Amino acid sequence: MQRAGPSSAPMLGTGGTPQPFNIKYPASSSQHPVSYMSQVSQNDSADWRRIYPFASHWAELPGGRMHYLDEGPGGAGNPGRGEPLGVDLAEPSTLLFVHGNPTWSFHWRALVESLQPRYRCIAPDHLGCGLSDKPQQDFSLNDHIENLCTLVDKLALERVTLVAQDWGGAIGLGAMLRMPERLERIVLFNTGAFPPRYIPWRIRACRVPVIGRLAVQGANLFSLAALRMTLARRTRLDPAIAAGYLAPYDSWANRRAVYGFAKDIPSPRGRVSPRLESASAAADAATADTRETLAEIERKLPTFADRPICLIWGMRDWCFRPDCLERFVEFWPRAEMHRLPDVGHWVVEDTPEESLAIVEAFLKAIPEDEPRRHEGHEVRNLTSK
């Protein structure tokens, strides 16, 4: 594993031309698949880097180099830092942040910054995303799950609290179901971990053969639209925040995984118009493994019902709508729920202070000296104003 902090060293873009950027990448990066950002203005880079002030780390995986953050007590980013009262640095509680599409570990920056004095915070970028390598190949849901399992094993993570959103829910839960002894608690923002019953038209449009790929991977419309369509309480993101989300996805090659995630969504059964049947059949064949992976995760969700679970939902999300929340509640009837009526898909951006307050309160409700107490935690069904 390798780590690096900010620097003014140049970085190789997709064409091999050095571009100014303030991250020092591993010296061997030229021997790996396309992975880093090009065509980012120095001013924009500096702006978003100021709100993402973390040391970078890389883990060598079979499919490429995975970038991740490791902050807080016991973490590689701050070994021994802080020594907060009541935390056993020999085995700190670990928050594992798992992002969705089209985001990266940048999505979790505010939670990591606020929570790292007390908890070890691990936030990986999936292969193809963020600062990780970007191999020019398709990754399935199962691939991402296996990659996350490998990282958890390499870092020997224990006492894990999974914090996930969007695709991160299926990836994170899928990984924890393969190593349940490591899982302590679950915090989910708008996500799903079951075969979809619908696909919003905005997502379906991205999957139209040729046109969809040109729009997503070529024109970057998926990422650009997400900057506004994921919000409800707010109208727009600050320019530095928007630049941070877009920075890793600045070229056709660097956006391959963004399109790949959209393409990997299985079509809902029995909800396809006759004129789209042939295209749907082809999509079903391509996503058969992912459909089965999601079905397997869904079947096993009840095995986590004894864990402390917090579900935080933006009720104006047009993608992972409130009925996705209700599906989780069917499996986890004792979960703590927070319904945020005027919040969209990116809850941590739409209401950052409220998101942090809810997560902090949930984590503090489970005593540090009782990490394995999976029963008897308080059950709350809350609607935040």
Distances in Å between the alpha carbon of 347 and those of 31, 49, 191, 196, 243?
38, 21, 11, 21, 18
Instruction: Give the pLDDT confidence of 101-152 residue by residue, as tens digits.
Output: 999 999 999 999 999 999 999 999 999 999 999 999 999 999 999 999 999 9
Q: How much is the pLDDT for 79? A: 53
DSSP-derived letter for residue 54 is -
At how many degrees (to 10) do helices 167-178 and 288-300 cross? 60
Q: What long-range pairs does 41-50 form, CB within 8 A, spacing at least 24?
A: 44/239, 44/240, 44/243, 44/247, 45/20, 45/21, 45/243, 45/247, 46/22, 47/239, 47/240, 47/243, 48/106, 48/240, 48/241, 48/243, 48/244, 48/247, 49/6, 49/22, 49/23, 50/240
pLDDT score for 43: 55
Calculate Rg over the CA atoms of the chain.
Answer: 20
Cis omega before residue 102 (within 30°)?
A: yes
- Determine the residue type at 190: N
Which positions ≥6 away from 67 have C-beta within 8 Å?
56, 57, 58, 105, 124, 125, 130, 131, 132
DSSP 194-243: S--S---HHHHHHTSTTHHHIIIIIS-HHHHHHHHHT-SSSS---HHHHH
Beta bridge partners of 60: 65
Q: Identify the three-state secondary structure at position 142.
A: helix
Query: In this structure, what token pair is assigned to residue 26?
Result: 């591993």
User: DSSP class of residue 91?
Assistant: S
Per DSSP bridges, beta strands 381-383 and 160-166 are unpaired
Write out pLDDT tens, residues 31-50. 444 444 444 445 555 589 99
Q: Rounded CA gap, 94 and 119, in Å? A: 6
Read off the tokens for 47.
């702006």
Amino acid at 15: G
pLDDT recorded at residue 204: 78
- Tens-level pLDDT at each residue, the chain (385 residues): 544 443 332 232 323 322 333 344 444 343 444 444 444 445 555 589 999 999 999 999 999 999 999 999 987 755 544 444 444 444 668 999 999 999 999 999 999 999 999 999 999 999 999 999 999 999 999 999 999 999 999 999 999 999 999 999 999 999 999 999 999 999 999 999 999 988 887 787 877 888 989 999 999 999 999 999 999 999 999 999 999 999 999 999 999 999 999 999 998 865 444 544 445 555 566 688 999 999 999 999 999 999 999 999 999 999 999 999 999 999 999 999 999 999 999 999 999 999 999 999 999 997 554 444 334 333 444 555 4
pTM over 0.85: no
Other CB atoms within 10 A of residue 205 CB: 16
Structural domains of the chain in order of their starting residue, each with its CATH number: 56-234+255-368+375-383 (3.40.50.1820)
pLDDT score recorded for residue 45: 55
The pair of three-digit structure tokens given for residue 83, joined into one six-digit string: 């020594």
pLDDT at 367: 59
- Give me the pLDDT at residue 37, please: 44
pLDDT at 285: 63
Angle, helices 141-155 vs 288-300, to 10°: value is 60
